Structure 1
Amino acid sequence: MQNLIKRGELIVDDSWQLLRDAEAVFAASDDVILPLQRFLQVAAAGHQGGLAVLLSPDSDPLALQEHLGSLQLIAIDFPAFADGRGYSIARTLRERLGYAGELRAVGDVLRDQLSYMAQVGFDAFAIREDRSATEALDGLADFSEQYQGTVLKPVPLLKRRVSH
């Protein structure tokens, strides 16, 4: 996967293969990101390489509860810039289900979204191929503060005020 930002840095070498096609063929030792239903099948059968899951906007993250402790990576798809369901999935995974592994935004991911995505728990971003990941990296620092409580800063700004 090219154009990857992970934990605030550009990543050049990433072994994960994103396979959107549920029927895609891959080697037993490959590090693969599979659609939810295919992931559940492969996880039950066993896989030698790295195994991660791709959640679509209509996926139920609760289907992953028994796998969360062993999953290194969950990718959440943003098929269109205006589709914000992935934000809710990310926040559910982090806050409600306690997922601590890598949470990667994939699909129509643009610089303008990165700061907001980080606030709900994403720590990796696969930037669209037609955009510069170097320029997108600056999007993580677009805002110095958030008013509301977030995954990164659970206490809202009003309660963080310092009295003099």
Structure 2
Amino acid sequence: MPKVIKQDGSIFQDDWVVVERPADGESLNLPDQPALIPADLWLAGKEHYIGRKNVGVWFDSHQEPEILAGLVNELDVIAVNFPKFADGRGYSIARLLRERLGYRNELRAIGDVLLDQLQFMKRCGFDRFVLRADKNAEEAARCLNFFSQGYQAATDTEVPLFRRRAS
């Protein structure tokens, strides 16, 4: 079972399973434990899923989070997949979920998540991180607080540093 790193650096075992998109003609099978399903499939069957505490969604990097506009806070967990560490679209999805759509619950980064991305992911609104399987969670947890201040405004700091210093 993978480990999850919280924004504060604490680490715990992940109970959530990422359910892959079923092949054409197959139906979605939910496991007996908490499951993250593709966001568009959740939307298609939302009448079955709204209010269930053990079902969350995941976005692939090419999907638009606006498909869940007005419904995001019905979900306890939303995950964003990073298919490759160099694919930065997940950062934009996180900002859109937090700032434009007002998502307040758990937002996790999954997929090809590496140590040196965590600080940037945190600034974009992620509060949980599931590292790539070959990475050390304990070492990664220390990477979350390398910087005491960010220069730019972001989801974690609404005012840029130069304005904070001036006041």
TM-score w.r.t. length of structure 1: 0.90
Q: Which amino acid aligns with 2:17?
A: Q
Change (3 A) 1:37 1:121: same
1:133 aligns with 2:134: no
Give the Cα–Cα distance (whole angstroms) in 2 for the partners of residues 84 and 21 of structure 1. Answer: 22
Aligned AA (1:35): P
Deviates more, 1:119-128 or 1:34-43: 34-43
1:37 aligns with 2:48: no
Deviation string for 1:36-62 (max 9, x for gaps)? 222223323347551111101111111
Corresponding residue number in structure 1 for 2:148 = 144
Gaps of 5+ in 1: none
Give the equivalent residue in structure 2 for 1:92: 96
How many equivalent pairs are there? 161
Q: Which residue number in structure 2 is paired with residue 159 of structure 1? A: 163
Match of 2:61 in 1: 57
**Whole-Å separation in 2 of the counterparts to 1:127 and 1:3:** 8
Q: What secondary structure does 2:79 align onto?
A: strand
2:74 is paired with a residue whose SS is coil
Q: Distance in 1 between matches of 2:54 and 2:46?
A: 10
RMSD between superposed Cα atoms in Å? 1.8
Structure 2 unaligned regions, length at least 5 = none
Post-superposition shift, 1:162?
Answer: 4.6
Correspondence 1:110-129 to 2 at 5 A: 110-129=114-133
**Distance (Å, rounded) in 1 between the aligned partners of 2:3 and 2:113:** 10
Q: 1:117-159: CA deviations, max 9, x gaps?
A: 0001000000111110000111101222211101111100000
After superposition, give the CA deviation of every residue in 1:106-127 in whole Å (9 maximum; x if it has no partner).
0000110000000010000001
User: Could you tell me how far apart the structure 1 residues matched to 2:53 and 2:152 are?
Assistant: 40
- Percent of paired sites with the same residue: 40
Are the aligned partners of 2:70 and 2:101 in contact in 1 as well (CA < 8 Å)?
A: no
- Return 111-120 or 141-150, whichever deviates more: 141-150
- For the 8 Å contact 1:3–1:132, the answer to whether it is kept is no
The match for 1:4 is 4
Distance in 2 of aligned mates of 1:11 and 1:82: 26
